Amino acid sequence: DVKVTQSSRYLVKRTGEKVFLECVQDMDHENMFWYRQDPGLGLRLIYFSYDVKMKEKGDIPEGYSVSREKKERFSLILESASTNQTSMYLCASRLGGPTYEQYFGPGTRLTVT
Protein backbone atom coordinates (compact mmCIF):
# COMPACT_ATOMS: atom_id res chain seq x y z
CA ASP A 1 0.00 0.00 0.00
CA VAL A 2 1.19 3.48 -0.84
CA LYS A 3 1.70 5.54 2.21
CA VAL A 4 1.86 9.31 2.34
CA THR A 5 2.71 10.73 5.72
CA GLN A 6 2.67 14.28 6.95
CA SER A 7 4.80 15.47 9.83
CA SER A 8 1.99 16.81 12.00
CA ARG A 9 -1.77 16.36 12.24
CA TYR A 10 -2.25 19.59 14.16
CA LEU A 11 0.00 22.62 14.35
CA VAL A 12 -0.38 25.98 16.05
CA LYS A 13 1.99 28.78 15.10
CA ARG A 14 2.23 32.49 15.71
CA THR A 15 1.98 35.19 13.08
CA GLY A 16 5.37 35.84 11.48
CA GLU A 17 6.86 32.43 12.31
CA LYS A 18 8.48 30.32 9.63
CA VAL A 19 6.57 27.07 9.29
CA PHE A 20 7.71 23.81 7.74
CA LEU A 21 5.24 21.13 6.69
CA GLU A 22 6.85 17.85 5.70
CA CYS A 23 5.43 15.17 3.44
CA VAL A 24 6.97 11.78 2.76
CA GLN A 25 5.82 9.06 0.36
CA ASP A 26 7.16 5.56 0.24
CA MET A 27 6.31 4.40 -3.28
CA ASP A 28 8.90 6.12 -5.45
CA HIS A 29 6.29 8.42 -6.99
CA GLU A 30 7.53 11.06 -9.38
CA ASN A 31 4.88 13.65 -8.69
CA MET A 32 4.03 15.35 -5.43
CA PHE A 33 1.53 18.07 -4.61
CA TRP A 34 0.56 20.46 -1.85
CA TYR A 35 -3.05 21.63 -1.51
CA ARG A 36 -4.89 23.68 1.01
CA GLN A 37 -8.51 23.01 1.81
CA ASP A 38 -10.88 25.63 3.13
CA PRO A 39 -14.64 25.43 3.74
CA GLY A 40 -16.56 26.51 0.66
CA LEU A 41 -13.42 26.71 -1.47
CA GLY A 42 -12.54 23.07 -1.91
CA LEU A 43 -8.98 21.97 -2.63
CA ARG A 44 -6.63 24.50 -4.14
CA LEU A 45 -3.21 23.62 -5.50
CA ILE A 46 -0.33 25.52 -3.95
CA TYR A 47 2.75 23.92 -5.53
CA PHE A 48 3.66 20.71 -7.27
CA SER A 49 6.79 18.89 -8.23
CA TYR A 50 7.40 16.41 -11.05
CA ASP A 51 10.94 15.52 -10.11
CA VAL A 52 13.61 16.09 -7.54
CA LYS A 53 14.62 19.73 -7.29
CA MET A 54 11.83 20.71 -9.67
CA LYS A 55 8.86 22.76 -8.56
CA GLU A 56 6.00 24.52 -10.25
CA LYS A 57 3.51 27.04 -8.93
CA GLY A 58 -0.07 26.02 -8.58
CA ASP A 59 -3.07 28.29 -8.29
CA ILE A 60 -2.22 29.96 -4.99
CA PRO A 61 1.56 30.01 -4.41
CA GLU A 62 1.76 33.44 -2.78
CA GLY A 63 3.21 33.27 0.72
CA TYR A 64 4.51 29.71 0.24
CA SER A 65 7.63 28.02 -1.04
CA VAL A 66 8.55 24.37 -1.44
CA SER A 67 11.59 22.14 -1.40
CA ARG A 68 12.18 18.74 -2.94
CA GLU A 69 15.73 17.60 -2.29
CA LYS A 70 14.87 13.90 -2.28
CA LYS A 71 12.31 12.04 -4.34
CA GLU A 72 10.32 10.86 -1.37
CA ARG A 73 10.08 14.16 0.47
CA PHE A 74 8.26 17.35 -0.43
CA SER A 75 8.26 20.21 2.03
CA LEU A 76 5.95 23.21 2.15
CA ILE A 77 7.34 26.35 3.75
CA LEU A 78 5.39 29.30 5.02
CA GLU A 79 8.05 32.00 5.08
CA SER A 80 6.15 34.28 7.47
CA ALA A 81 2.92 32.75 8.65
CA SER A 82 -0.20 34.88 8.58
CA THR A 83 -3.65 34.29 10.01
CA ASN A 84 -5.11 33.84 6.52
CA GLN A 85 -2.92 30.77 6.13
CA THR A 86 -4.90 28.99 8.81
CA SER A 87 -6.17 25.97 6.90
CA MET A 88 -6.02 22.23 6.31
CA TYR A 89 -2.95 21.33 4.26
CA LEU A 90 -2.98 18.15 2.20
CA CYS A 91 -0.04 16.51 0.53
CA ALA A 92 -0.47 14.04 -2.32
CA SER A 93 1.72 11.92 -4.53
CA ARG A 94 1.17 10.25 -7.87
CA LEU A 95 3.15 7.77 -9.91
CA GLY A 96 2.78 9.46 -13.28
CA GLY A 97 0.39 11.63 -15.25
CA PRO A 98 -3.25 12.44 -14.53
CA THR A 99 -4.50 8.98 -15.48
CA TYR A 100 -2.98 7.74 -12.24
CA GLU A 101 -4.72 8.14 -8.92
CA GLN A 102 -3.40 10.53 -6.34
CA TYR A 103 -2.60 9.30 -2.86
CA PHE A 104 -3.19 11.77 -0.09
CA GLY A 105 -1.68 12.16 3.34
CA PRO A 106 -3.92 12.56 6.40
CA GLY A 107 -3.59 16.34 6.37
CA THR A 108 -2.15 18.96 8.70
CA ARG A 109 -4.56 21.36 10.33
CA LEU A 110 -2.55 24.55 10.79
CA THR A 111 -3.75 27.37 13.00
CA VAL A 112 -1.91 30.68 12.89
CA THR A 113 -2.67 32.98 15.80
Binders of other proteins in range 45-64 (CB under 8 A):
45, 48, 50, 56, 58-59
H helix runs in the chain, sequence order: none
DSSP-derived pairing of the beta strands 103-104 and 108-112? unpaired
Q: Which stretch binds other proteins (CB under 8 A): 11-19, 70-78, 79-87, 88-96?
A: 88-96
Q: Which stretch binds other proteins (CB under 8 A): 13-21, 68-76, 84-92?
A: 84-92
Closer CB to other proteins, 48 or 78, in the complex: 48
